[in-house]
């Protein structure tokens, strides 16, 4: 990122549950998480919350740079430190700084791939398959470290929290999984 842009960053602090922006708000800044966690969410008619993005470091709602108004709400999931970059200078920097632009494009492409994986996961219709898919695609070497409660993980997996708890313990009983605090490790199918 060019220094001239970095110099324009305004530090922000948000407490747990605090709203960063709402659907319909004009997009005036691009937010970058320094520390903590922010989430992009939408609520459906029943009041169920769908988590669309979870960011613990780096930008959030990157695609909003392209639209006049936000399409989702953003909230802080923990006490969070952010940087706020005004859109105008941000767009100029993308125009004029090739390295910055290139990394921004990679960021968007990564987000697309991540969302495709998420769609693939939500298309699986058993809880066990979604869990395995998540460990495979988001974990490292078969080990997934959770940075959230299981309840909110359940929401991310499109499951009720009860279903997640039950499936996790069933999979562990079947030897398909080892749960150790926030470390979830998948076990390969045992040879007979």
Partner DNA sequence: CGTACTTTTGAATCGCATCAAATCTGGTGG
Partner DNA sequence: CCACCAGATTTGATGCGATTCAAAAGTACG
Using CB under 8 A, list all residues that contact a second copy: 40, 42, 44, 48, 50, 52-53, 62-63, 65-67, 71-72, 94-95, 98, 101, 105-106, 108-113, 115-116, 118-120, 122-125, 129, 158
Q: Which does 105 bind (CB under 5 to 8 A by kind): DNA, a second copy, none?
A: a second copy
Q: Which is nearer to a second copy, 2 or 81 (CB)?
A: 2
Q: Which is nearer to a second copy, 57 or 107 (CB)?
A: 107
C-alpha 179/C-alpha 143 separation (Å) is: 10
First to last CA, the chain: 54
Q: Which does 112 bind (CB under 5 to 8 A by kind): a second copy, DNA, none?
A: a second copy
What is the tally of helices (H) and strands (E) in the chain? 6, 11
The binding site for DNA (CB under 7 A) comprises 46, 125-128, 149-152, 158-163, 165-169
Distance in Å, CB of 114 to a second copy, minimum? 9
C-alpha 84/C-alpha 87 separation (Å) is: 9
Distance in Å, CB of 154 to DNA, minimum? 8
Q: What are the tokens at 160? A: 């009720």
Positive or negative: CA dihedral 168, 150, 83, 47: positive
Distance in Å, CB of 120 to a second copy, minimum? 5
Q: Which is nearer to DNA, 111 or 185 (CB)?
A: 185
Q: Which does 149 bind (CB under 5 to 8 A by kind): DNA, a second copy, none?
A: DNA
Q: What are the tokens at 177? A: 């999984």
Closest by Cα among 40, 34, 47 to 6? 34
C-alpha 86/C-alpha 30 separation (Å) is: 6
Q: Which is nearer to a second copy, 13 or 107 (CB)?
A: 107
Sort residue 24 into left (φ over 0), alpha (ψ -120 to 50) or beta: left
Q: Which is nearer to a second copy, 12 or 89 (CB)?
A: 89
């Amino acid at each position: 990122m060019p220094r001239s842009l970095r110099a324009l960053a305004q530090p922000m602090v948000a407490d747990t549950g605090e709203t960063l922006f709402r659907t319909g708000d004009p997009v005036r800044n691009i937010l970058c998480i320094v520390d903590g966690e922010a989430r992009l969410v939408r609520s459906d008619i029943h009041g169920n919350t769908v988590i669309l993005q979870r960011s613990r470091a780096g930008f959030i709602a990157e695609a909003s740079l392209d639209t006049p108004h936000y399409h989702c709400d953003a909230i802080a999931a923990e006490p969070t430190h952010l940087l706020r970059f005004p859109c105008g200078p941000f767009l100029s920097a993308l125009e004029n700084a090739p390295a910055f632009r290139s990394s921004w494009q990679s960021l968007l492409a990564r987000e697309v791939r991540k969302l495709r994986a998420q769609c693939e996961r939500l298309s699986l219709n058993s809880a066990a398959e979604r869990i395995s898919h998540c460990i495979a695609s988001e974990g490292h070497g078969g080990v997934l470290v959770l940075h959230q409660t299981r309840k909110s993980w359940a929401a991310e997996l499109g499951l009720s929290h009860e279903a997640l708890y039950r499936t996790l313990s069933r999979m562990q009983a079947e030897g398909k999984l080892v749960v150790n605090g926030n470390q979830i490790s998948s076990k390969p199918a045992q040879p007979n």
